[in-house]
Structure 1
Amino acid sequence: MIVVFDAQCLLCNGWVKFLLRHDQRGVFRFAAIQSRTGQALLQQAGLQVEGLQTLLLVDGPTRWQHTAAILRILHHLGWPWRAAWLGWLVPAVLRDALYRWVARHRYRVFGRTETCMVPPSDVAARFLD
């Protein structure tokens, strides 16, 4: 599975660091939206980098965005993160509205870096490009 994320967003970088810490089985690989691979995956999903307000999870031909991507990712981390599946009880229209609000304000609230995240050497192979 590939997590496509904004490598200049500090919230997104924190999410990737969280995943690296808790993905004990090494299920996830990562592609920054600023990379060639990330841009190709976004294009295949019909998304554009400019104004992007979603996380993208790619599993073969299947793609998930917004809270569906987060809930699927947490499920694959196992317990206790799998309990987040209770989030499916909240209608997607409400979950995704909150997600999009946070995504729109992520730079202002969490900050932004002008340089992309450089992965630690012990996990660098899990980053595409």
Structure 2
Amino acid sequence: MEENWQHKNIVFFDGDCGVCNFWVQWILERDKKDQFLFASLQSEFGQKFLSERGLDTKVFNTMYLWKPEQYYLEKSSAVLEIANLLGGVYKLSAIGKIIPKFLSDKLYDTVSANRMKLANQKCYLPTPHQRKKFIQV
């Protein structure tokens, strides 16, 4: 694991979800600034993150973005901030912030509730460089 994870943006995701794994792969391929690490919510690290914040440790239907010692975002706010941090054309997603959060989170929840039906369950194997971005403990 990267020694300096406290200075990275950490994406927490449902490790058993094909849609979530698709988005992790999508971020990995676009993370040209090497600013993201990843942890499944089911991992020891993910469970600690959830429990320290009083979040449900058994429900994994939300993606979180955490900047250690600074903030954490969830649902649509996390997605929009990830796009913003990726930069370039993805910064255009900031226009999504004009949509009221309760509406964008409602859309997020609808996709989340149907994600297993949407998932294409192909296995994805990260490259050795990409594997270093996954926090195991």
Question: Structure 1-normalised TM-score?
Answer: 0.90
2:32 counterpart (21, 24, 27):
24
Aligned to 2:129, what secondary structure does the other structure show? coil
Q: Relative to structure 1, is the Cα distance of residues 41 and 118 closer, same or farther in structure 2, using a 3 angstrom cutoff? A: farther
Partner of 1:68: 77
Cα deviation 1:54-104 (Å, max 9, x = unaligned): 101111231100100000100000110010000000000100001011111
1:123 counterpart (130, 133, 137):
130
- Distance in 1 (alpha carbons) for counterparts of 2:130 and 2:61: 26
Off by >4 Å, runs of 4+ in structure 1: none
- Distance in 1 (alpha carbons) for counterparts of 2:75 and 2:31: 20
The residue correspondences of 1:1-129 to structure 2 (distance < 5 A) are: 1-61=9-69, 62-111=71-120, 119-129=126-136
Cα deviation 1:9-61 (Å, max 9, x = unaligned): 11111101111100101100000112100111122232224233210111123
- Distance in 1 (alpha carbons) for counterparts of 2:128 and 2:62: 27
Q: How many residue pairs get matched?
A: 127
List gaps (5 residues or longer) in structure 1. none
- Distance in 1 (alpha carbons) for counterparts of 2:36 and 2:110: 26
Give the CA RMSD over aligned residues.
1.8
- Distance in 2 (alpha carbons) for counterparts of 1:47 and 1:27: 25
- Distance in 2 (alpha carbons) for counterparts of 1:108 and 1:47: 25
